[in-house]
Structure 1
Amino acid sequence: MSRGNSAGYDRHITIFSPEGRLYQVEYAFKAVKLPGTTAVAVRGAQCVCAVVQRKLPDRLVEPDSVTSAARVSDAHGVVFAGLPTDGRAQVQRLRAEASEFRYQNGYEAPTLTRFIRSTLTCVPLGATLLFLGWDDHEGGYSGPRLYKVDPAGYCIGYRACAAGSKDVEAQNWLEKRLRERQEEVGADRGERLLFSTAGSAGGYGAPLRDIPLSDDDALELAIGALQSVTSSELKPADLEIALVTKDKRHFHVLSDQEVEEVLSRLSERD
C-alpha cells in the first residue's frame, strides 16, 4: 500500500478512509509478518502449549537473549509473533496490570482478557499475542485457557491457533488434523458426528467439537503445525516451547535440553 493511496487517512488511528478502512491497523497487521516467524498454540484437556520460531539476527547473538515468550503472572503468560520490541512493550503493560490486580485483590488475576481493553487497544502495535494460562476458581471455570489478540485488540478464545507470517497455513493444518482426530474419536465411540447447520451456512464449515487431547498430543500438534509451514526439521535451538499443565500450573518456558527431550519423545511415538 503506497503512501499516496492513503491520502493522509493514516495519520491517526481514529481517522477512517472513505472506504471505511483504518490504515494504521492494516499497517500493524502487515508488520506482524515482517520478522518471518510463526507461533502455534494448542489447548489440551489438561494443558495448553505454544511453540514459536526463534530466529537469530546474527551468529554472534546469544540465543538465550532472543525470546518471544514471557510470563505475565504466576499462572499466565504470552507468546507473541511480530516485532520483538512491540511484543515486549505489550508484555510490560500487561505485567503492570497483573501486578496492580494482585496488589488490590490479594490473589492472582484470572485470564487476562479483562485487561485487554485498557492495555492493548490504545495503539495498534506490530505484534499478535497468544495468551496461555490456567484458571482455577471456585464456582467457575477450572482448566487451561488459550486466547489470541491481534493488533486491532480483538480477542477470542481458541482450541488451537497460529500467528505470524504463515498463520493461515498453520491454522488450516491444525483444522485438518483436529477434524481427522474428531472423526477417529467418533468412530471409536460409534457416534454419529452432529454438525451445526448454522455454522455451515455461515461459510466457515462445521465447527469442531472440543476433543480431549493429552499433553503429548497437544505438543505434537503444535510442533507438527510449525514444522509443516517451515518445511524443515526443527532443532531445539530453532524454537521455543511454553507450557502450562494441570500438574504444574505455572507458565514456564522449556530449556533447550527440555525441548530436545520433548522432540525425542515425540519422534519415538511416530
Structure 2
Amino acid sequence: MKKILRIIIGLVLVVIFCIINNKWLVTTTYKIESKKLPKSFDGMRIVQVSDLHDATFGNKQDRLIKKVQNAKPDAIFLTGDVIDRNRYDLEGSIHAVAGFVEIAPVYYVTGNHEIAVNKVSEIKGALTELGVNVLSNGTLPFEKDGEIIQIVGIEDPLAGTDTQAMLDTALLQQSKGSFKLLLAHRPEYMKIYAENNIDIAFSGHAHGGQFRLPGVGGLIAPGQGFFPKYTAGTVEVDHMTQVISRGLGNSLMPVRLLNLPEIVVVELHSI
C-alpha cells in the first residue's frame, strides 16, 4: 500500500512540475543601447510575444494579457506562430490579441505554422480587423516627438520567397541610416538581417530549445536540430542585436522542461 501511495505522490508531483513548466509565465527584460537611436525613443519599451501555438493562459488569455500590460509597452511585436497547424484554433489567439491592441500598437508577422495551415488570409484578416499592423514584407514608420524609426516585417520563408528577396521588398524605400527594428520569425537567418542594416531583430521559432539543460542550453530547435546555437536571449551580429524569444507554447512536443513560457521586454536607450 505504501509503495502504491509513493507512486501516486510521485506521479502527482511530475504532473505539477510539467504544469508549472508550461503555464508559469515569466518576463525577461533586455536593455539595448544605440548611438543611432533617435533621442525621442530613449526609454521606449517593446514587448515581444512569440509562438503562442494555441496555448492558453487563463480565461480568455487574461493572465497573458495582464503580463503584457504590466510591462507597460509602447509597442507590441508578435513574431509568428500565433496558432498551431496541428490543432488550429484561432479563437484563443484572437482573445489574446484583442487584449493587446487595447494596451499599445501591435505589429505582426507570420510564422511557419500560419503558412503550413494554409489559412494565412483568414488569420491576417482577423488580426487586421482587430487593429493589428500586419507586416507582409513591408515597413511602417513609428513616430515620436517628430522623430521616426522604422518597423520592418517579413513573412516566414515557408511562404516560398527567400529571406533576402523579402528584405529587398520590405526595405525598398528605406535609407541605410534609418533606425530599423525587424520582426522575422526565424533566428537562424540573423546574418542576413544584419547585412541589411537592421539594428535590432526580433525572432522566436526555436521554443527555447524545448528542453533546457543546465550549462548546456536548449536541446532541439526547428531549423537548427539538436543542441541549437540560437534559442534564447540576445546575440550580437556585427552592428545588430538579435533578440530571440523562448516563446509561449508548444507544437509537436507538448511539454517544456526548465524552459518557462516568456514574454520579452526590450527597453531602448539612446547613447
TM value normalised by structure 2? 0.29
Higher strand share: 2
Higher helix share: 1
